[in-house]
Amino acid sequence: MFGAHSKERLLFVDANSSIGAKIKISGGTKCNLTNRHVSSQNYLGDKAFVKENIDSFNSADTLDFFAKYGVFPTQKDSGQYFCNSSKEVLSAFSLANSSHQFLFGRKVCDVNFNKEGFTTHLDNESIVSKKLVVASGGISYPKLNASDIGYKIAKKFAHEIKMPKPALVGLTLQKEQFWMRELSGISLHVKVKYEDFTYKGDMLFSHFGISGPVVLNTSLRWEKGKITIDFLPYLDLTTDSFMWNEKRQLTSIIDVPKRFVKAFLNSFEILDKPMKSYSNFEREKIVLLKKYTMSIAGTFGFNRAEITKGGVETTQINPKTFESRIQKGLYFIGEVLDVSGELGGYNLQWAFSSGANAAKNFGF
């Protein structure tokens, strides 16, 4: 979405047919608006830049805004706030912006600047404005008309772009982990570690690789290299303390799907048999259930990514107003910037914070 501002009007241009297309699918259509626990540590990007803005317009401010329009999200144990339906969120935005104008189903092709201001070229007309706000998002979800137009505009005005990459997305497997493919549809509660970051949550096996909330969060930080998975985060499984004298089989002892246990054992050519009958070598492999290290081939790509990480370099953006330090009157907000949040309402909160702080400069 783009916002063109002149003395006469505030005009929003959106390639989609209605407001908030991405909000409609957020949180499984329930729209997880924000999170009670929001800090700069929940984001990938310049921490000082992020902190200044989420402190200026925080989750409480977001809730207050929606309360004015009769929207009262429900807080979950995780700290996330979910709405009954994304429709009520979109209704709130429509009411809040009822005095402004919208152009839906129109794509921005290019932007020029001269003494008259910004000329935004659409598919069949041009709009001149004194100020221009680029809120075009990333390039994930191409089915929602996502495009790289925001990056092209930024480059045109000499802004640097950190390479956009898929984020909050599933991870694909190396050949050594192809045994996981037969587990498609199975979900486990696990702990995943990548470098200095550790996430707990549900992991889902699929034909493409691994997914689920814990993997999506890991993908935000992952660039290359290995991850380590603890498939039994609530069990102390060591060669000294585990029940190696048990007559029962491993599938009968640990509370995870038997299909997973058997596939894991098969990957090392180990049978599911009484625990007491395992050799020391076999025990060493079973203990890897607590520290399974694996290389990642890549991601599921932009088509399946919830967000795009990377984007417009924030050192070239005024942290109070979101105005370009290079071109007066040009603003960048939301996902188009090099700021990306974890799952849990953090990305919508960033969109609200950056949008609200930029709007203060417009007198709204």
Q: What is the DSSP string of 142-179?
A: GGGT--SHHHHHHHHTT--EEEEEEES--EEE-GGGGG
Ordered by start, the domain boundaries in the chain are 2-166+308-362, 171-299
Task: Please say whether the dihedral angle defined by the alpha carbons of residues 61, 87, 139 and 28, taken in this order, is positive or negative.
Answer: positive
Contact present, 340 and 167 (Cβ < 8 Å): yes
Distance of CA 251 to the CA centre of its chain: 35
Domains 2-166+308-362 and 171-299 fall in the same CATH topology: no
Question: Distances from the Cα of 87 to the Cαs of 20, 25, 90, 149, in angstroms?
Answer: 10, 10, 5, 27
Question: Distances from the Cα of 179 to the Cαs of 36, 38, 203, 214, 260, in angstroms?
Answer: 39, 38, 15, 20, 10
Please tell me the predicted confidence (pLDDT) of residue 84.
86
CATH of domain 2-166+308-362: 3.50.50.60
* Spatial CB neighbours of 351, under 8 Å, sequence gap ≥ 6: 135, 333, 334, 335
Taking the C-alpha atoms of residue 177 and residue 175, their distance in angstroms, rounded to an integer, is 5
Q: Interior CA angle at 283 toward 278 and 288, to 5°?
A: 145
The 10 Å CB-count burial string (b at 16+, else e) for 184-218 is eebebbbbbbbeeeebebebbbbebbbbbbbbbbb
pLDDT digits (tens, 9 = 90+) for 79-91: 899 988 888 988 9
pLDDT digits (tens, 9 = 90+) for 97-137: 888 888 999 999 999 999 989 999 998 899 999 999 999 99
Distance of CA 291 to the CA centre of its chain: 26
Contact present, 149 and 136 (Cβ < 8 Å): yes
Please tell me the predicted confidence (pLDDT) of residue 242.
66
Taking the C-alpha atoms of residue 305 and residue 347, their distance in angstroms, rounded to an integer, is 13
pLDDT digits (tens, 9 = 90+) for 213-231: 999 999 999 999 999 999 9
The label of the residue with tokens 């709204």 reads: 364
**Percent of the chain clearing pLDDT 90 (strictly above):** 74
* Spatial CB neighbours of 145, under 8 Å, sequence gap ≥ 6: 15, 16, 21, 107
Please tell me the predicted confidence (pLDDT) of residue 151.
98
Element (H, E) at 193: strand 187-194
Q: Interior CA angle at 277 toward 275 and 280, to 5°?
A: 90
pLDDT digits (tens, 9 = 90+) for 314-339: 999 999 999 999 999 999 999 999 99
Residue 241 burial (10 A CB sphere; 0-12, 13-18, 19+)? exposed
Fold of the 171-299 domain: Elongation Factor Tu (Ef-tu); domain 3 (2.40.30)
Question: What single letter denotes the amino acid at residue 126?
Answer: S
Please tell me the predicted confidence (pLDDT) of residue 93.
86
pTM exceeding 0.75: yes
Question: What single letter denotes the amino acid at residue 287?
Answer: V
Beta bridge pairs of residue 3: 12, 133
pLDDT digits (tens, 9 = 90+) for 262-299: 999 999 999 999 989 999 999 999 999 999 999 999 99
